A and B are shown apart, each in its own frame.
Chain A
Amino acid sequence: MEYVLTTNALCKNYQYFKALNGLSMHVPKGAVYGFVGKNGAGKTTLIRLICGLQYPTSGGYTLYGIEGTDRRINAMRRRMGAMVESPSVYSNMTAEENLKEQYRILGMPSYQGIAELLELVGLDHTGRKKAGNFSLGMRQRLGIAIALSGSPDFLVLDEPVNGLDPQGIIEIRELILRLNRERQITILISSHMLDELARLATCYGFIDHGRMVKEISAKELEEACRKCMRIQVSDVRALARVLDGLQMEYTILSDTTADVFARVKITQLALLLAKENCEILSVHERDESLESFYLNLIGESANQTGNASMDERGDRL
């Protein structure tokens, strides 16, 4: 698989605080990568590093296969656009003036495309209104328009829907989807708004305490979060025979347990299993959302971190 961005054991320390602690991640080309983590997990720090705003303490990253320490990295950065934390706009300029300034910084030969960009983000009617008087949503959209100047093929958005009203959230979501589908732009979005991410992302990276807890594709996540019945029986082989007969999709988890991915008529199943001399011990409906998946993941990670630190303390003692 071709990756736009990879990081390898990336670390960033701020004095005694480890913001990133050996983070490794892979952003595939063409993906909408949802970067999920709670506040202070290290999302923005990673974005600052890959945007060249800060330097890693150790570890490294590659952008389009070029190492972050390579001289050619600045040329690679020309292919990316980013909005880090708050939108970076001159508050004493209009939306159009802001884009013109960014075009000059980029060294674009003309201002062609500014009108289209303003239209794309829905700011084409702002006229002479200064960005300082824009609402937060308008500033976010202007920030995205600036990030899109120079037609990047990798867009990094740090909490793009933070503080937006529901209408603004929908507009930004549609814009991101359109950019990904119509312009094939790879997008890295950091957010803790899981419902929003679930509607956009094709890949996820879950980060906690500066470490990557899990990277998973949307398809794998869907599999993991699929609605299913977890059935515990006395004989799982008998259950498999019955489910095969009913043409139902299932996964055997142990000698007694299986997940069934279909709507099961319990009475029918019980009668068929009884014919096979198999007893139903328990039936649970499982419906895991991205939110519960994340919470389970972070919970496990916290336990592991906790155990590791306990072990460490034990070793020291």
Chain B
Amino acid sequence: MMKLIHANFARMIKNRIFWLSEAFLAGYSVFVYLMAARNLKLNPVAVNWNLYFFNAILVIGVVIAVFSVFFIGVEYSDGTIRNKLIIGHKRREIYLANVLVCFTVGMIQFLTCLVVSAVSGTLIIGTQMLALHEPGWCMLHCVMIIAAYAAVFCMIAMLDTNKARAVLEEILVAAVFLILTLQIYGDLTQPEYTNRTALTQEGGFQVEENIPNPKYVTGNKRVLYEWIDAFLPADQAMYVIDSEAVYSLRAPCCLFFETVVLIMTGAYVFQKKDIK
């Protein structure tokens, strides 16, 4: 398997998409801090520094999807995956080596963003941007989010030999993630009680406090949403950039479990697959 990993990394280094996305993300990280500096002038209090520092985690899924579909897709379109099988490499090892390279690319690109963010943030804003909320937990979440993305998108790219169709499938999966995230994260972050401002008969305003929020999800539905939430990488990315999020081991564990199950399922299906 080391041979395959070595070969994959040698190919990754020469991959144009890898370097283009690396440049894009570096530029994106600088842009984020330019926007942060602008926002800081408008509202100098209560700045959420996680939003700027870990912002790349919101787009890293797209980067992994694009990279995996082209990096692995070319093995089918050029037929080079046959070269690995013909000389006796095990299918399981070929699959794992590809997952590993996709995960590594995700990590390299994310770490690049963090380094560029740290440098550009310090230069543009100053060291105050390093006042992050729970950076350790955030990093753990980010690693698991990247692993889950690598497992999902690698599975699609490995199991569909048609590159164009695989692109569509990855876009579809990304869209499903986004829709679920918007729905579930939106519902789960609703406050339990809200305040209501009403107009009095005298023409003044009356603030009613602690009114139960009808949009607040309760009971079994909330439990179900929390579990789905823990398995959605895009959803977890929202918590990473939230300066008030409360972290637990549940989400990283769920993402880890999801990654392992996806890799095992993908490797099993790939094992049975007829390759032309």
Which residue numbers of A lie inside 8 Å of B, CB to CB?
Answer: 48, 51-55, 73-78, 80-82, 84-93, 97, 100-102, 104-107, 146-147, 150
Once the chains bind, are B88 and A73 in contact (CB under 8 Å)? yes
Interface residues on chain B, number (Cβ under 8 Å):
27
Once the chains bind, are A54 and B10 in contact (CB under 8 Å)? no
Once the chains bind, are A88 and B78 in contact (CB under 8 Å)? yes
Whether B274 sits at the interface, judged by CB under 8 Å, is yes
Once the chains bind, are A104 and B90 in contact (CB under 8 Å)? no
B11: chain A residues at CB < 8 Å are 90, 101
Interface code B70-82, partner A: CB below 8 Å = 1, 0 otherwise?
Answer: 0000100011111
Given contacts A88-B79, A101-B7, contact A78 B275 (CB under 8 A): no
Q: Whole-angstrom distance from the CB of A276 to the nearest CB of chain B?
A: 64
Contact residues, B33-87 vs A (CB, 8 A): 74, 78-87
Whether B89 sits at the interface, judged by CB under 8 Å, is yes
Given contacts A53-B275, A107-B3, contact A88 B88 (CB under 8 A): no
The listed residue (A55, A76, A84, A92) touching B88 by CB distance below 8 A is A76
Interface code B1-31, partner A: CB below 8 Å = 1, 0 otherwise?
Answer: 0111011001100101000000000000000
Whether B276 sits at the interface, judged by CB under 8 Å, is yes
Q: Whole-angstrom distance from the CB of A120 to the nearest CB of chain B?
A: 18
The listed residue (B7, B79, B85) touching A52 by CB distance below 8 A is B85
The 8 A-B residue pairs with the shortest CB-CB distance in the complex, in nearest-first order: A77-B88, A74-B88, A107-B3, A104-B7, A88-B79, A54-B274, A53-B275, A105-B7
Once the chains bind, are A75 and B88 in contact (CB under 8 Å)? yes
Once the chains bind, are B79 and A82 in contact (CB under 8 Å)? no
The listed residue (A82, A92, A100, A104) touching B86 by CB distance below 8 A is A82
Complex: how many Å from CA A78 to CA B6?
A: 18
Once the chains bind, are A106 and B10 in contact (CB under 8 Å)? no
- Closest B residue to A78 by beta carbon equals B88
B78: chain A residues at CB < 8 Å are 88-91
Complex: how many Å from CA A82 to CA B85?
A: 10
Complex: how many Å from CA A85 to CA B80?
A: 12
A80: chain B residues at CB < 8 Å are 86-87
Q: Whole-angstrom distance from the CB of A162 to the nearest CB of chain B?
A: 14
Given contacts A105-B4, A105-B87, contact A84 B82 (CB under 8 A): yes
Complex: how many Å from CA A85 to CA B85?
A: 15
Complex: how many Å from CA A61 to CA B16?
A: 42
- Closest A residue to B275 by beta carbon equals A53
Provide a sorted-by-A list of 20 A–B residue pairs whose CB atoms are within 8 angstroms: A52-B88, A53-B85, A74-B88, A77-B86, A78-B87, A78-B88, A80-B86, A81-B86, A85-B79, A85-B276, A87-B79, A90-B78, A90-B80, A91-B78, A92-B74, A104-B7, A105-B3, A106-B87, A107-B6, A146-B83
Given contacts A82-B86, A84-B86, contact A90 B7 (CB under 8 A): no
Complex: how many Å from CA A78 to CA B88?
A: 6
Extra A-B contacts (19), CB below 8 Å, given A53-B276, A86-B79, A104-B6: A52-B88, A53-B82, A53-B275, A54-B274, A54-B275, A73-B88, A81-B87, A82-B82, A82-B86, A84-B82, A88-B80, A88-B82, A90-B78, A91-B78, A92-B16, A105-B84, A107-B2, A146-B83, A147-B86
Q: Whole-angstrom distance from the CB of A143 to the nearest CB of chain B?
A: 9
B16: chain A residues at CB < 8 Å are 92
A48: chain B residues at CB < 8 Å are 274-276
Most chain B beta carbons < 10 A, residue from A75, A78, A106, A150: A106
Q: Whole-angstrom distance from the CB of B224 to the nearest CB of chain A?
A: 40
A97: chain B residues at CB < 8 Å are 14
A146: chain B residues at CB < 8 Å are 83
Once the chains bind, are B83 and A74 in contact (CB under 8 Å)? no
A107: chain B residues at CB < 8 Å are 2-3, 6
Complex: how many Å from CA A100 to CA B83?
A: 13
Q: Whole-angstrom distance from the CB of A71 to the nearest CB of chain B?
A: 10
Most chain B beta carbons < 10 A, residue from A73, A74, A97: A74
Complex: how many Å from CA A101 to CA B86?
A: 15
Complex: how many Å from CA A76 to CA B88?
A: 7
- Closest B residue to A82 by beta carbon equals B86
B84: chain A residues at CB < 8 Å are 105
Q: Whole-angstrom distance from the CB of B121 to the nearest CB of chain A?
A: 36
The listed residue (A77, A85, A87, A101) touching B10 by CB distance below 8 A is A101
Complex: how many Å from CA A103 to CA B89?
A: 13
Once the chains bind, are B83 and A88 in contact (CB under 8 Å)? yes
- Closest B residue to A74 by beta carbon equals B88
Once the chains bind, are A150 and B87 in contact (CB under 8 Å)? yes
Complex: how many Å from CA A147 to CA B79?
A: 13
Complex: how many Å from CA A81 to CA B82?
A: 11
B7: chain A residues at CB < 8 Å are 101, 104-105
Q: Whole-angstrom distance from the CB of A79 to the nearest CB of chain B?
A: 9
Once the chains bind, are B79 and A53 in contact (CB under 8 Å)? no
Interface code B235-276, partner A: CB below 8 Å = 1, 0 otherwise?
Answer: 000000000000000000000000000000000000010111
Complex: how many Å from CA A171 to CA B14?
A: 32
Q: Whole-angstrom distance from the CB of B76 to the nearest CB of chain A?
A: 10
A102: chain B residues at CB < 8 Å are 83
